[in-house]
Amino acid sequence: MRIIAGFLKGHRLYFPQNRNIRPLKDRARESIFNILMHSKKISFCLMGAHILDLYAGTGSFGLECLSRKAKRVCFVENQLDAIKILKKNIKKLKLEKKTDIFFSNTFHLINNKKKFQSKFDLIFCDPPFADDNIDKLLKIIFENNLLKKNGIIILHRNKNAKEKLPNYLKIIDEKIYGISSIKIGKILF
């Protein structure tokens, strides 16, 4: 695993030996950023953005955002092994001043929005593929008004997942990579 672009391009990241942690593959991450930066369907500026990386794992998505000039990333993870690697990656890249790490259950944390300093321009949701609470997660994000008006939500799911998404989430783009599905959407306010 490595940083794909930006001022940290080429830096290698620590990754888990624990098979329960599923890092976002370089190819899928690169495709997400290509869509964000070049799609005619999406108008998004990463420079200066505030990012919420839910189920952050080793932090590859949020760290890529920082390398591409995002202002700040809040990482949320509840597995100790992943948190240890995430902290090592942040320290290795000298990004401590641009990050917040929350070792917490995602649902508990985002229900307590006072923990966050601002709303987010982009929320990346990468729960375990077996987790079938996406509708609940999106509802809490919506009800707690965590996303800025023109903000983007990205869902990384198993391509075979049969999840019913809420009607206030408009999917703008969707791509399939191997067993993964990447859905990019906006909340309709």
Percent of the chain at pLDDT > 90 equals 48
- 185 token code pair: 């959407």
The predicted-structure confidence for 7-59, as pLDDT tens digits, reads as follows: 999 999 998 776 666 667 777 888 889 888 888 888 889 999 999 999 999 99
pLDDT grade for 65, boundaries at 50, 70 and 90: very high
Angle between helices 60-67 and 26-38 (to 10 degrees): 40
Q: Which residues contact 179 (CB under 8 A, 6 or more apart)?
A: 129, 158, 159, 160
Domain boundaries, the chain: 26-187
pLDDT at residue 20, as a whole number: 65
Sign of the alpha-carbon torsion through 146, 168, 45, 9: positive
Mean pLDDT of 78-86: 92
CATH number given to 26-187 = 3.40.50.150
Which DSSP category does 68 fall into?
Answer: T
SS3 of residue 56 by DSSP: coil
Q: Quick one: average pLDDT of 52-78?
A: 95
pLDDT in tens, 144-154: 889 998 899 99
Q: Which two tokens stand for residue 44?
A: 């998004």
Averaged pLDDT of the chain: 88
